[in-house]
């Protein structure tokens, strides 16, 4: 078989393929781990607050006239896909915080990690969003409150609009493009 030079269309397809392979490889790259080697030196830079079910209910309430859309990410330091997607969340926080999005991360780590493993990981990520740790002996009622269809498997990412209605939810590692599109829509920033 004779192989003729690729057409422009084929070149575009090859470029796309190459790009996607690079992106895929970058997703497979190791992510900084919390702990002695991966931890930031200054673990006092981030404060993680304990929160219970009642606190969650208050936090999620969108009952004021100027309420902002709320993005919530449930995660844990022991959850691999949570650690993998965290840099994207840090970027989203930086990109949208000044544009009217409220974003909180809620850790389901053990409460004994509230001053150690959790802030160490957040510092290593240079995270700036408010972070809470769910401090409930039984996480079941809080999980059911968030979404009866959520088993509690991590990560879980939910976006509430200004009225407190769920407009996006994803259990498992989220798609950056899908989440950003949902945030844009909730902020009334449609992109065409």
Partner 1 sequence: MKKSQVSLLLALILILAGIALAESSTAAFDVPAAPAIGATIGDFSLPDADGKERTLNSLKGTNGSVLIFVSVQCPVSNAYNDRMEKLAQDYKAKGITVIGVNSNVAEAADAVKSHALANKLSFPIVKDAGNKIADRLGATVTPEAYFLDASNKLIYHGRIDNSRNGESVTSSELREAMDSTLAGKPVKTTTANAFGCSIKRA
- Give min distance, CB of 94 to partner 1, in A: 22
Q: Could you say whether residue 20 binds partner 1 (CB under 8 A)?
A: yes
**Nearer residue to partner 1 within complex by CB, 79 or 129:** 79
CB 169 within 8 A of CB 175: no
C-beta atoms surrounding 29 within 10 Å: 7
- In 46-184, DSSP assigns E strands to 48-51, 70-75, 102-107, 131-134, 156-160, 166-171
Give the interface size with partner 1 as a residue count (CB under 8 A).
37
Answer for which of 115, 130, 145, 171 binds partner 1 (CB under 8 A) is 171
CB 180 within 8 A of CB 153: no
Place of tokens 């493009």: 177
- Separation of CA 124 from chain center: 15
| Cα–Cα distance, 70 to 159 (Å, whole number) | 6
Residues 89 to 118: which contact partner 1 by CB under 8 A? Answer: 108, 110
- Give min distance, CB of 139 to partner 1, in A: 5
Residues 21 to 60: which contact partner 1 by CB under 8 A? Answer: 21, 24, 27
- Give min distance, CB of 10 to partner 1, in A: 6
Binding residues (CB under 8 A) for partner 1: these are 1, 3-4, 6-7, 9-10, 13-14, 16-17, 20-21, 24, 27, 78-81, 108, 110, 137-140, 143-144, 151-154, 170-175
């Amino acid at each position: 078989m004779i192989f003729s030079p690729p057409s422009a269309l084929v070149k575009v397809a090859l470029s796309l393929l190459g790009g996607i392979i690079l992106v895929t490889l970058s997703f497979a790259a190791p992510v900084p781990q919390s702990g002695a080697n991966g931890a930031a030196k200054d673990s006092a830079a981030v404060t993680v607050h304990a929160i219970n079910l009642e606190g969650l209910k208050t936090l999620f309430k969108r009952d004021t006239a100027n309420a902002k859309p709320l993005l919530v990410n449930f995660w844990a330091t022991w959850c691999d896909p949570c650690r993998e997607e965290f840099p994207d969340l840090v970027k989203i926080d930086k990109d949208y915080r000044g544009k009217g999005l409220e974003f909180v991360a809620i850790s389901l780590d053990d409460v004994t990690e509230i001053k150690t493993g959790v802030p160490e990981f957040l510092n290593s990520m240079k995270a700036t969003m408010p972070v809470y740790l769910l401090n409930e002996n039984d996480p079941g009622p809080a999980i059911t409150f968030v979404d009866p269809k959520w088993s509690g498997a991590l990560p879980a990412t939910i976006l509430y609009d200004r009225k407190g209605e769920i407009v996006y939810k994803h259990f498992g590692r989220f798609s950056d493009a899908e989440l950003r599109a949902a945030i844009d829509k909730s902020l009334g920033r449609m992109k065409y």
